[in-house]
Amino acid sequence: MSKRPCEKAIIGKKLGMTRVFAENGAVIPVTVIEAGPCAVVQKKTQENDGYAALQLGFMDKPERKATKPEKGRFKKAGVPCKRHLKEFVLADMENINAGDSIKVESFTEGEKVDVCGMTKGRGFTGPVKRWNVAKLRMTHGVGPVHRQAGSLGANSDPSRIMKNKKMAGQYGHERVTMLNLEVIKIDTEKNLIAVKGAVPGPKGGIVFIRDTVKK
């Protein structure tokens, strides 16, 4: 996500996709995210840490699973042990202190947000699935090379495979940010936010939501 200061930010968990109907009957595909509540675990300042940021914690975890330094940090902030931590640089952090709670109420319906998450990991895949290269004809005589990459380049010159050649390898499990997603609906009682379109990651994946950098 962008390093620019944002006006609002929160950590959430992707629940899945569904659809909602607009007043004119149009079908809108949405992704439902359980956003917050997030506790402010630490407030970093320019004097003490060299930069200003807020560290948010999301989802409680048993105290027995926390390390001794983690227990001290959470105890100092006066919040339960959290499973996920993330730092955000907010434009206005003067009125926010450690121990405060940030809820989905800070967002409003109709505004645009950026959602960042880790895509689904697909393991070691071939070039057809990873790069969508063309397959050979699925007919007799082609041989057992239908889904191979084909030629990797010239032979004697330059006598090597050029950089950025689309080959088989690790696919997925990379950080992706979706920009300018519209907030369709907010449920403050259940801490749910529905954004238009798809967001990265599987069901249950952790995502980070902030107001969009492209106003």
Domains of the chain and CATH, by start? 9-122+176-211 (2.40.30.10), 126-172 (no CATH)
C-alpha to C-alpha distances, 59 to 11, 21, 65, nearest whole angstrom: 9, 31, 13
Q: Which pLDDT score, from 0 to 100, does residue 59 have? A: 87
| d(C-alpha 169, C-alpha 39), whole Å | 39
pLDDT tens-digit map of 160-196: 899 999 999 999 999 999 999 999 989 888 889 999 9
Give the dihedral sign, CA 16/17/20/22.
positive
The ranges of the chain with pLDDT < 70 are 1-3
Locate 133 and state its tokens.
């290269």
Which amino acid belongs to residue 33? I
Q: Which pLDDT score, from 0 to 100, does residue 1 have? A: 53
Q: Which pLDDT score, from 0 to 100, does residue 2 have? A: 54
Task: Give DSSP secondary structure letters for 49-91.
Answer: HSS-EEEEEEEE--GGGS-HHHHHHHHHHT---EEEEEEE-BS
Q: Which pLDDT score, from 0 to 100, does residue 183 have? A: 92
Q: Which pLDDT score, from 0 to 100, does residue 8 have? A: 85
**Whose CA is closest to 19, among 34, 32, 5, 7?**
32
DSSP state of 6: B
The structure's pTM equals 0.82
Burial of 90 (0-12, 13-18, 19+ CB in 10 A): middle
Locate 54 and state its tokens.
């807020």
Q: Which pLDDT score, from 0 to 100, does residue 202 have? A: 92
